[in-house]
Chains A and B, each alone.
Chain A
Amino acid sequence: MNASENKVYEKLPGKGAIVSLGLLRVLAYYCDDHLLLVISESSYKENYKRFYFKDVQAFLTRKTKTYTVVNVVMSIIMLFLFLFGVLATVSRTRELLFLIVPFFLAVATIEILNLLGGPSCEVLIQTAVQREKLGNISNLKTADKNMAILLPLIRASQGGSAPPAFNPTEAVGENIPPADT
């Protein structure tokens, strides 16, 4: 086992999905020879999982529907709130606006954050004996940023020739090709 004491870890981008509401917080760190997942299931205790670069077989990224579902749900709520607001104004019960406007702004903030995050995804890391979800990644932009850091480290530790086509640095924010492939 290639493991030395007092590794210096650096944080990888991503804090997990906004919908998890911080109940299950997953952060990822890396050092020279492994990836460390820090899973906080309670507020104070955290569990660690290590994935040594020499054992990593593949990363599997799957586009999920969370982005679309959140967009649709938030848009419907915003539409209803807007209609309620209009009705409250027309029916001279403007006091209701004090309740509707903050709620509308809160929903709009979630919608904007979701739009800025971009399409959602889940990323799995595969080794010979396990397949684990990287909980810190919730969208494709974060996935690409993580890959840009991890891929060179994994390839350096495993040696061999790098696959020719994939360059995550170029692919950041451009996961969906412009034309059908």
Chain B
Amino acid sequence: MAGQVQCPKCKATLFEPLFDHPWLQPCPNCSEQIRIVTFPALNRVAEAGATGENIIIEGESSCFFHPSKRAAVCCEGCGRFICPLCDVAVDGKHLCAQCLSGGVSKGLLQPFKSTGFRYDRAAWAYVILSVPLSFMFLGVVTGAAGLYNSIKGLKQKDNLLPKKTKTFYILTIISVLEILWSLGFMILIFHK
């Protein structure tokens, strides 16, 4: 069955005359001003997925995970035989669910990366925190934390978005200066 479009407010199913109009149009049911842009995928009927053929002749290569199904391809991660049901095509490669899961958890498969850590924000937080804390002899600790996050950010290779290299260099310099300032302040106070 092809897809349907529902009003974002009243959930009423909307039809053709409202689609792809350049202006906002009132919903026929709730009069909410809406604009709908549709694409050919809306009318595409989903194809049934492959299920795998059953083994008829004894001795035929079978799927590692489904012994009753005939093997179709070899997993390019672990080399196990897999049926079309277990075959996940990623970037032109055939992988089984276990290899896929392992690749995702180790962060090796960029297309499946779902979380990220912002080292730049963490470094900024420590760098800003260092300013008041440097007068309480804790600036060295927060400065070091800022430096650690800056270097981690510079070395990060699995980031999805463009790396802010300049920002990380600036943060590294500020962190080092804050550590030196804090150490200098401590020496000045304790020498008196």
Contacts and interface: CB of A to CB of B under 8 A. Distances in A.
Q: Does A pair with B?
A: yes
Interface of A: 1, 3-9, 29, 36, 38, 40, 43-50, 54-63, 122, 124, 126-128, 147, 151, 154-155, 158-160, 163-168, 170-171, 175-177, 181
Nearest to B125: A43
A1 B91 contact: yes
Contacts of B111: 1, 3-5, 50
Nearest to B112: A3
Interface in B16-62: 19-25, 32-42, 46
B79 interface: no
A62 B41 contact: no
A9 B113 CA distance: 14
A29 B115 CA distance: 15
A59 B36 contact: yes
Interface centre among A8, A40, A163, A167 (most CB of B within 10 A): A163
A174 B185 CA distance: 59
25 contacts: A1-B89, A3-B110, A9-B162, A38-B116, A48-B114, A56-B39, A57-B38, A57-B41, A58-B3, A58-B5, A60-B8, A61-B37, A62-B32, A62-B34, A63-B34, A126-B5, A128-B41, A155-B39, A158-B39, A160-B40, A163-B37, A166-B37, A171-B22, A171-B23, A175-B23
B90 A3 contact: yes
A90 to B, nearest CB: 42
